[in-house]
Chains A and B, each alone.
Chain A
Amino acid sequence: MTTLSNTPDKLQSSSASRTRCYGMMAEFATPGEIMKAAEKVRAAGYRWWDCHTPFPVHGLDNAMGISPTILPVFVFFAGLTGTMIAFGLQAFTNATDWSIWAFVWVTGYPFLISGKPLLSVPAFIPVMFELTILLSALTTFGLMFLLNGLPRLHHPLFTSNRFLRASDDRFFIVIEARDPRFRRQATRDFLEGLSPIAVEEVLDT
């Protein structure tokens, strides 16, 4: 396991056979600088790249040209599923005498409560509401993890000592090597043209 104190240079010499280039990283001092730089990276046509900042920088999504997430669509339909499951379950158990097989045989039990109709939607609404919220919330949480590529125990960026300051006071742009426009030297030159504090190659171990 790589420790954070290893520098890329050491890594390269010790296990050159196992390392490959993950991407090129540029370091900036202020949100304004990274905003300008992000616009240029976007204009240069890179697609596999990201910004890392200590706090949310308003407008950065726009500058990077990130399209809105698809998550809300899933959440909407998960919520709708919850509504319908809750309605179906209550309608089945309270208003029908059907027998269905759900791993065991279960039978609906028509249960008259204070003279209300057997199928009375108002009484079902609290459970429908709760299950809608439950499925929406779980879907939001779970899919947020999956769409972000989580959980993962290791990320190549953590091999860089410089990158530690991404959670403190520095702003980073990383262009990944898998980007079709990535050329080791050309990309380094390009990033240096954005007047960063430093440019560094990140190695994947």
Chain B
Amino acid sequence: MSHAALDAGRFDLSSQNLTLGAPASLLSRVLVIIGVVLLIVSGMMAWGTDDLAMVSKSYLVSFMWILAISLGGLFFTFVQHLTHAGWSVAVRRPAEVLAANLAWIWIFFLPIVFMWLRGDLDALFIWADMEHLRAHNPEEADVVAKKEAYLNTGFFFTRAVAYFVTWAILGTFFYRMSLKQDSEGGSRITDLLQKVSAPAALLFGLTVTFAAFDWLMSLSPAWFSTIFGVYFFAGTCTAGFSAMILICVYIQRSGRMKGLITSEHYQDLGKLLFAFGMVFWAYIGFSQYMLIWYGNIPEETGWFLSRQVGDWSLLSLALLAGHFIIPFLCLISRWPKRYPLFLMVGAVWMIIFAWLDLYWLVMPVIPEDVYTATSYTEFADAHENASTHLSTPINWSLFLGMACCYFGITLGRLRRHPLLPERDPRLKESLSFENI
């Protein structure tokens, strides 16, 4: 639009405004050091623990959380190319950097491989040791035995390799190509990325769905929910979009990208977080809940029953309120989304609830008497003291350790190149973008 052309000179695209300075470098190193220290402390706490199930599940929660953030970044990146979006160019680089983290995220999966090599994998995934399961809980073992063609360690780790390779290739590709465009310019790379994003979306959907089945749903191997992959995908949007907002606010607080990311961009990021991270999440979560609640089949309801007894009922309600109702009311208006500090508080809130959501998915154990109890009241009374173990220190040391490492590395990468794709053909459109 000619309006944009009129004001083309008002944008400060100097490298001073486009690159993070020395404080970011320091912060990045400090974060990585704190993160590594916290992870070592967690490792020492975990070493020789008599509750390997608890520790490994806690680790899985935080691993899935950083994975969700990266996948959210990848989703954002290819959807913008897929829709030929103009508005988002100015905020796309943070998403690309998050997606690029997928190239090394498999390193954090190695402890699970290590558990397998030690023969301890059944502490996390009970299907990994069928004899033990059969001795312990024959009814469940009968159901799980029918899934052995899919749920066996060989195929499990083969699939894991396939997911990580796919994600590493996609994340790196979008990131590298965008950097290449910084030096090459023109629209060739934009055209290429737009072509690639359609198959990328297909691969993303398949890998995310099956990764959620493998690493989250198979924790309760007898249980199944076909919508589960979509539920995890909603969680990746919550985590990924929140992280993007946080990075954008951080960049601007440190005096960079002045006048380039405007409240118009924040409003749209806020809309995405609102739509995918809260409303879509609640919609999918409820769809999953209502069918199982109505169907009332013992092998399905056990999963929800174990989440509504004792302290878990409080956490379930807290999740409903904190992941949907409260942020829904806070972010539904226009102004909170346009006010970066308010949106930042919302993003911090949501990224923590994204972690709690994963905690809620991973941690509860379905009690064995769920199949034998004669009434709900009997079952609820028997487990009224069920604890969430949320206050266990290792949950928080692992969470903070992973968070510090992850954002430290992300920041380190972010300061190596311009903070936006400076020669993207749609950059001008993005910079002068306005919601009506």
Contact = CB atoms under 8 A, between A and B. Distances in A.
A114 B293 CA distance: 11
B334 interface: yes
Contacts of B433: 58
Interface stretch (B1-9, B144-152, B167-175, B357-365): B1-9
B293 A58 contact: no
B1 A76 contact: no
Given A114-B296, A122-B289, A125-B290, A59 B3 contact: yes
Interface string B332-356: 1110000000000000000000000
A136 to B, nearest CB: 12
A140 to B, nearest CB: 14
A125 B282 CA distance: 12
Contacts of B334: 68, 72
Interface in B1-56: 1-3, 6
Contacts of B286: 122, 125
A32 interface: yes
A35 B3 contact: yes
A195 to B, nearest CB: 15
A112 to B, nearest CB: 13
Given A32-B3, A58-B434, A72 B296 contact: no
Nearest to B296: A114
A65 interface: no
A115 B294 CA distance: 10
A56 B3 contact: no
B436 interface: yes
Given A76-B332, A122-B289, A31 B1 contact: yes
Given A31-B3, A32-B6, A122-B290, A59 B296 contact: no
Interface in A109-143: 114-115, 122-123, 125-126
A28 to B, nearest CB: 12
Given A30-B2, A31-B3, A115-B296, A59 B434 contact: yes
Contacts of A126: 290
Contacts of A30: 2
Contacts of B436: 56, 58, 61
A35 to B, nearest CB: 6
Nearest to A126: B290
A111 to B, nearest CB: 15
Interface string A36-62: 000000000000000000001111011
B377 to A, nearest CB: 12
A20 to B, nearest CB: 34
Contacts of A115: 296
A68 B432 CA distance: 20
Interface string B350-389: 0000000000000000000000000000000000000000
A123 B292 CA distance: 12
Given A58-B436, A59-B434, A125-B290, A72 B2 contact: no
Nearest to B433: A58
A57 B294 contact: no
Contacts of A62: 434
A56 B436 CA distance: 8
Contact of B3 (A58, A61, A68, A114): A58
B196 to A, nearest CB: 30
A58 B289 contact: no
Nearest to B294: A123
A122 B290 CA distance: 6
A72 B337 CA distance: 15
Interface in B386-436: 432-434, 436
Interface string A68-99: 10001000100000000000000000000000
Contacts of B1: 31, 57-58
Given A122-B290, A126-B290, A72 B3 contact: no
A123 B296 CA distance: 13
Contacts of B332: 76
Contacts of A125: 286, 290
Contacts of A114: 294, 296
Nearest to A36: B6
A61 B334 CA distance: 15
Contacts of A57: 1, 3
Nearest to B264: A58
Contacts of B289: 122
Nearest to A115: B296
Given A58-B433, A122-B293, A122-B294, 16 more contacts: A30-B2, A31-B2, A31-B3, A57-B1, A57-B3, A58-B1, A58-B3, A58-B432, A58-B436, A59-B3, A59-B434, A62-B434, A114-B294, A122-B289, A123-B294, A126-B290
23 contacts: A31-B1, A31-B2, A31-B3, A32-B2, A57-B1, A58-B1, A58-B3, A58-B432, A58-B433, A58-B436, A59-B3, A59-B434, A61-B436, A68-B334, A72-B333, A115-B296, A122-B290, A122-B293, A122-B294, A123-B290, A123-B294, A125-B290, A126-B290
9 nearest A-B pairs in the assembled complex, by CB-CB distance = A58-B434, A32-B2, A59-B434, A32-B6, A122-B293, A122-B290, A56-B436, A32-B3, A31-B3
